[in-house]
Structure 1
Amino acid sequence: MFKLAILQMRSEKRAYDKSTKTIIDYMKTASENNADMLLLPECFITGYDLSISNDLALSDDDNHINKLCDTARELKIGLIATALTKGKAKPQNSAFVINKNGEILMKYSKVHTCDFADEKALESGEEFKVCDCDGIKIGIMICYDKEYPESGRVLMLKGAEIILVPNDCGSMKPRVQALSTRAYENMCGVAMANPNGVNAGNSCAFSPICWDKNGICVDNTLLLVDDETEGLFYAEFDMDKIRYFREHEMMGNTFRKVYAYNELLNAKVEYPFIRKGK
């Protein structure tokens, strides 16, 4: 079993020390409850502060990150740590995958920045990434990434078994439904951490297993929190059952007809999708 702790909470902007202490406190609680990993909402260490300069964004060896790595090693719990980090010219929206030995296995920076809003001030990441974390292949997509099926698809093609989604947005009902679909179509477990609040929250987790061995549909929802409750929640992924399902069912990368997919790489934008400034 892979037991995931999911934090539904909003952090303060630029309260780096306070947010790091909060994370450590929740890591301790999650460890006491035998969780394998803690998933944070988007930009939790720095807060979702898009006026931040590249100088104030976190470096990969920032002391706050180092403290979290030390805590992960001490408590033997993995962590998806999130922050605005230094990019080449502008900050990036990033997530660090830290394993139970306190090692940073992967840094992923959000590919689909929200260029229609304040995130146009950020530098986009250039690729989707997967790593082997304590025996499970983990992929990350951040918030707006999840709105595009291609994000989950690429992670599946790169070998992801579990896709984790640090998030910070509202209007969650269709987005939660989409995450259930991402789990189904890619045969990957999916989990999201979102800050609590009116029209927000709804942190969730989904199994890819949507029917049993007799073809009878089952509810693949492992966790679905309400909008406003703040706290730590848990979801358990049965990796043996998930891996058996991935080996025998017909979604994922089984019978795709990739010769018909050329338009997916066409960058041209036409009506009705043209937007101001695009």
Structure 2
Amino acid sequence: MNTKRFRVALVQYHASGQSIGENTEKACEFIRQAAAEQADMVLFTECFLTTYQFPAICETLPPLEEIRRDPSFAAWRDAAITDEDPHLAKICALAGQLQIGVVITAFSRGRQLPRNTAWVIGRDGSILLKYSKVHTCDFSDEQYLESGDEFPVCTFDDVRVGVMICYDREYPESARQLMLGGAELILVPNDCQTMGPRLRELSVRAMENMVGIAMANPPGEQMGCSCAYDPMVWDEDGLALENEKFVAAPHFEGLACVDFDMEAIRQYRQREDLGKYRKPMAYRRK
């Protein structure tokens, strides 16, 4: 791999297949396309394999004790996948065959309820990282999910990679924890609307943590806008730089590649001072 260039393929596609099998086949199509375009990593949207859907009974947000007895809720809960799921295994096998990284997503089995999960798959097809969404949207039907409780970071080739999912981006602590864990690049599976303010959030997360950020979001009205941001906001002379690398059109459907210059990011992190003079003792509530 050319360490100066890290190419991320952003999948802007609404997975709406009638089965996890159909969505898996579509994911494989995108992985093959990304490999043909010499991408290092493919980034999918939130819950791509299982789709981001909840049973109709969840719409009115009844108590959990009530919906546990509903057959549709039980079927949805039981459809969440494990690390040994054959569809996930198929994605891993293709990644290994094509020697490409993949960030694939689905509802996964939790202790009692599903989790909103992303797996980072290495070039050899192994799972390098499993991350479950910490900041679930508990004001919505996501309250029926289990939240994750950590922000792990893995090494892909020589790049330190972390993941945050959709609503995680609204909390500065998410990206900061990943930065403190050594992340140089943060990948964001997403599925939401009103992208204007959220693009600005991602730009700031990249700047304040001196990390590259890439996000994949399904297409649609006020949706789409899959994007990438550099951390570099000024040059060596202190002159301002635009850190937006790419933003897809809202209705664009397909795959788009963006290149991160990891050597430039590392040199910037060494040269600049954002995050270097933190005062953690002062941040603690007394």
Instruction: Kindly state the Cα deviation for residue 15 of structure 1 after the two structures are TM-superposed.
Output: 2.0
Give the aligned partner of residue 140 of structure 1. Answer: 163
Instruction: Kindly state the Cα deviation for residue 221 of structure 1 after the two structures are TM-superposed.
Output: 1.1
Give the aligned partner of residue 212 of structure 1. Answer: 235
SS of corresponding position for 1:126: coil
- Following superposition, which runs of at least 4 residues in structure 1 exceed 3 angstroms of deviation? none
Instruction: Kindly state the Cα deviation for residue 158 of structure 1 after the two structures are TM-superposed.
Output: 0.3
Distance in 1, matches of 2:49 and 2:199, equals 24
**So what's the TM-score if we normalise by structure 2?**
0.90
Instruction: Kindly state the Cα deviation for residue 54 of structure 1 after the two structures are TM-superposed.
Output: 2.7
CA RMSD of superposed structures (Å): 1.1
Give the aligned partner of residue 272 of structure 1. Answer: none
Give the aligned partner of residue 42 of structure 1. Answer: 46
Q: Does 1:81 find its partner at 2:104?
A: yes
Give the aligned partner of residue 113 of structure 1. Answer: 136
Name whichever structure is richer in helix by fraction: 2
Distance in 2, matches of 1:75 and 1:103, equals 13
Q: More displaced, 42-51 or 151-160?
A: 42-51
Structure 2 portions without partners, runs of 5+: 56-72
User: In the superposition, relative to structure 1, how do residues 245 and 26 fare at CA in structure 2: closer, same or farther (>3 Å)?
Assistant: same
**So what's the TM-score if we normalise by structure 1?**
0.93
| Counterpart contact for 1:13–1:49, Cα < 8 Å | no
One-letter amino acid of the counterpart of residue 18, structure 1: E
Distance in 2, matches of 1:71 and 1:195, equals 23
Distance in 1, matches of 2:279 and 2:207, equals 18
Instruction: Kindly state the Cα deviation for residue 13 of structure 1 after the two structures are TM-superposed.
Output: 5.8
User: In the superposition, relative to structure 1, how do residues 14 and 49 fare at CA in structure 2: closer, same or farther (>3 Å)?
Assistant: farther
Deviations 1:171-196 (A, max 9, x none): 01010000000000000000100000
Deviations 1:121-146 (A, max 9, x none): 10000111111112111000000000
How many residues were matched structurally?
A: 263
SS of corresponding position for 2:245: strand
One-letter amino acid of the counterpart of residue 72, structure 1: A
Picking from 20, 28, 33, the partner of 1:29 is 33
| Counterpart contact for 1:13–1:48, Cα < 8 Å | no
Instruction: Kindly state the Cα deviation for residue 14 of structure 1 after the two structures are TM-superposed.
Output: 5.3
